[in-house]
Structure 1
Amino acid sequence: MSKTQQWLLYGAYGYTGELIARQAVKKGLKLVLSGRDEAKTKQLANELGLSYVVFSVSDLANNTDLLKAYDLVLNCAGPFSQTAEVFLDACIEARCHYFDITGEIAVFEAAAERHQQAALAEVILCPGVGFDVIPTDCMAAMLKQAMPDASHLCLGFDSRSGFSPGTAKTSVEALPEGGRVREDGLIKQVPLAYKTRRIDFGGGQKLAMTIPWGDVATAYYSTGIQNIEVYIPGSPKLVKRMKRMNWIRPVLGWSWVQNIIKKRIEKTVKGPDEQAREKLTTYVWGEVTNPAGERIQKRLLVANGYQLTVDGSLHVVNAVLSQSDLSPGYQTPSSLLGADLIRQLPGTQDIHIES
């Protein structure tokens, strides 16, 4: 598929989208900005000296020609539960590669279900090319290489990067659904803070709890490992609060409750500024075990979540536009560009491996 080597950044004026747009310009990448708000899209495009187009996701659902001029779309408009599936179908129809920065399990599963369609159209579908899920996905692939007969995989990260408005809204949407783990190859709905354990992510032992992170879906496709859990640190007080929240999860799904919380997020959550982002780093941890009870742990130190999302998404976009031998269909970041992808991003350091 050869078009113009031009790609579209949708949701360009959002917190993370704007960070990506500004960094893309610094790198000299050729892109077109897009979003549903004409005033915001135009203002940013004019400032950066870029072209822009304006359309909504509902427009795209009725007119896939909107994407036919582009080789690739990077979707930064969350919550992705409301945008990704329309883009997935439209990109297959328009023969345009699809990428986004989601961490939502449902989006990864929707992309995987379209694998055959995308492969026939010679289109790559690769959601999760940001902090969700590049570092943990690459960690999973590294551990699988180290222990090919692994039957259980645990992943986790210790980050203080904070939330952008879009990420906060996505988290609120996910609360009524509870937690997720993978058991015997199948994704299983579980309570919030379903399991706890003490983990040294890289900065010392901490209490940690399970979360419904995207790797419950993606790591299975990257490694074939049948049992997967993802953890983050949580104080005893936070763990108790999450467990209590299980009793009111149905209420959190009511539309008026969701609207109240999301409006509060719009007023109060701004995302960290550049100075704050530069001071933050993230520990990424992983562990595999096999049926014999052997265990391997690995740790990485990576950039803060927002910087990694900017660097990671642009690295993937550039790689796809410059390489013609990548396999079409559904891909995870590590299956597309290899487990060493994370080591190619600024700020990544190996800590150590334990057997």
Structure 2
Amino acid sequence: MNNKKIMIYGAYGYTGELIAREAVARGLRPILAGRNSKKLQPLAEELGLPAMAVELGASETLERTLRDMDVVIHCAGPFSTTAEPMMRACIEAGTHYQDITGEMEVYRSAHAMHKEARDAGVVLCPGTGFDVIPTDCLAAALHKAIPTATHLTLGFDSDSGLSPGTAKTSIESLGVGGAIRRQGKIEIVGHGELTRTIDFGRGDKFAVAIPWGDVATAYYSTEIPNIEVYIPMSPRRAKKMQRMNRFRWLLGKPWVQNWLKGKVDQKVRGPSEEKRSEQKTWVWGEIRNDRRGERRIGRVVTANGYDVTVHGSLAVAEFLLDYGGDGGYFTPSKLCGYELVEKLPGSGSIKVGID
């Protein structure tokens, strides 16, 4: 492992910087990279790490740079724009790829590149952060309990706010709607359309379905044909979401998207280390086989989403540095096993029972 290299691309973003600092604390010497040399240099000098500026659009230069790398942790959003060129460059360069996205379309894109990546011996593993390690691992553990399941419902409850990147991802979904999986196919539903009451681990709460990445990844991990993902939300806020459905056509306009994302840049900041240490996340899942009347509930408590992303992305990177298996697209649980989440600092054990 000592002779192998990790690149953190987008290292000067909020989460990228957290990952870089933790990597150094672990004794790793990642190469910091990104599009803006002026933003890269101060962090590289402070941490005593090499840095290089390279544009994602400069495909030949990017591929040449990646040939010296063993693993890329891609942290530069919006991933809807940046993930595909980086994945394709990694396939050409023979470099394992992972990222911290929660964007469903990135997972679907990576899944579509499975054969190319397998033939190149390259692992594509997007979603090696809070999106989607805890929910993906819980889905895999629940699937082990009922291998013939027909329905999977996941959810999480956290006191942590959105990171700038996640906030921008949420904005991109405003013009599309929610998403669930029905009979193996992804369906678009209205914002706030599906609701239920869930005990995520802190008592019953009103919850609303959201277009979380597991609508794609949990299906790739388990092949369960019906999947929904929920978060707690006040009924009043759910009503506001439902009213937004009338304006989805407007919310998807590029100028509206850019305006809203500009507001994120102005107002959304990641929390301090002290604040993060106070925030945990309660992850919940329900699996059923309706034909047989079987049902199980699973739960796991993790650290806050930012710390899960930092430790999860580095755990997967270290796994890939010593990896000798096949290439291709993998979810986190398919690559590292569902126990991955239990090994992260601040995480408990997955508990599955009848409830």
* Superposed pair shares fold, TM > 0.5: yes
Residues 234 and 78 from structure 1, CA distance in 2 versus in 1: closer, same or farther, beyond 3 angstroms? same
- Kept in 1, the 8 Å contact 2:155–2:283? The answer is yes
Map Cα deviations across residues 43-93 of structure 1 (whole Å, 9 max, x no partner): 110110000110122123775223111111110011100100111111111
**1:238 to 2:215 alignment:** no
After TM superposition, list the pairs within 5 Å mapping 1:65-76 onto structure 2: 65-76=64-75
- Kept in 1, the 8 Å contact 2:138–2:350? The answer is no
Structure 2 residue aligned with 1:205: 204
CA distance in 1, matches of 2:350, 2:121: 38
**1:116 to 2:133 alignment:** no
CA distance in 1, matches of 2:218, 2:191: 20
After TM superposition, list the pairs within 5 Å mapping 1:52-67 onto structure 2: 52-60=51-59, 63-67=62-66
After TM superposition, list the pairs within 5 Å mapping 1:299-314 onto structure 2: 299-314=299-314
Q: Give the aligned residue type for 1:14.
A: G
Structure 1 residue aligned with 2:96: 97
Q: What 5-or-longer segments of structure 1 have no aligned partner?
A: none
CA distance in 1, matches of 2:62, 2:295: 51
CA distance in 2, matches of 1:146, 1:61: 47
Structure 2 length as normaliser, TM-score? 0.97
SS at 1:187's partner residue?
strand
Map Cα deviations across residues 147-186 of structure 1 (whole Å, 9 max, x no partner): 1110100000001211121221121112111111111111
- Kept in 2, the 8 Å contact 1:79–1:167? The answer is no
- Kept in 2, the 8 Å contact 1:3–1:70? The answer is no
CA distance in 1, matches of 2:174, 2:277: 30
RMSD over aligned CA atoms reads 1.4
CA distance in 2, matches of 1:228, 1:93: 34
Q: How far is 1:272 from its partner? A: 0.8
**1:280 to 2:279 alignment:** yes
SS at 2:58's partner residue?
helix
SS at 2:4's partner residue?
coil
Q: Give the aligned residue type for 1:312.
A: G
CA distance in 2, matches of 1:259, 1:332: 30
CA distance in 2, matches of 1:73, 1:354: 38
The number of aligned residues is 353
CA distance in 2, matches of 1:257, 1:287: 37
CA distance in 2, matches of 1:61, 1:140: 39
- Kept in 1, the 8 Å contact 2:342–2:350? The answer is no
Q: What 5-or-longer segments of structure 2 have no aligned partner?
A: none
Structure 2 residue aligned with 1:35: 34
Q: How far is 1:323 from its partner? A: 3.1
**Which sits farther off after the overlay, 340-349 or 305-314?**
340-349
Q: How far is 1:351 from its partner? A: 6.9
CA distance in 2, matches of 1:305, 1:316: 16
SS at 2:191's partner residue?
coil
SS at 1:110's partner residue?
helix
Structure 2 residue aligned with 1:322: 322
After TM superposition, list the pairs within 5 Å mapping 1:135-214 onto structure 2: 135-214=134-213
Identity of aligned residues (%): 52
Q: How far is 1:30 from its partner? A: 2.3
SS at 2:308's partner residue?
helix
- Kept in 2, the 8 Å contact 1:73–1:96? The answer is yes
- Kept in 2, the 8 Å contact 1:158–1:201? The answer is yes
SS at 1:177's partner residue?
coil
Map Cα deviations across residues 208-237 of structure 1 (whole Å, 9 max, x no partner): 010000000000111111110000001011
Q: How far is 1:3 from its partner? A: 11
**Which sits farther off after the overlay, 255-264 or 332-341?**
255-264
Structure 1 length as normaliser, TM-score? 0.97
**Which sits farther off after the overlay, 56-65 or 18-27?**
56-65
- Kept in 2, the 8 Å contact 1:4–1:70? The answer is no
**1:332 to 2:331 alignment:** yes
CA distance in 2, matches of 1:63, 1:214: 27
SS at 1:349's partner residue?
coil
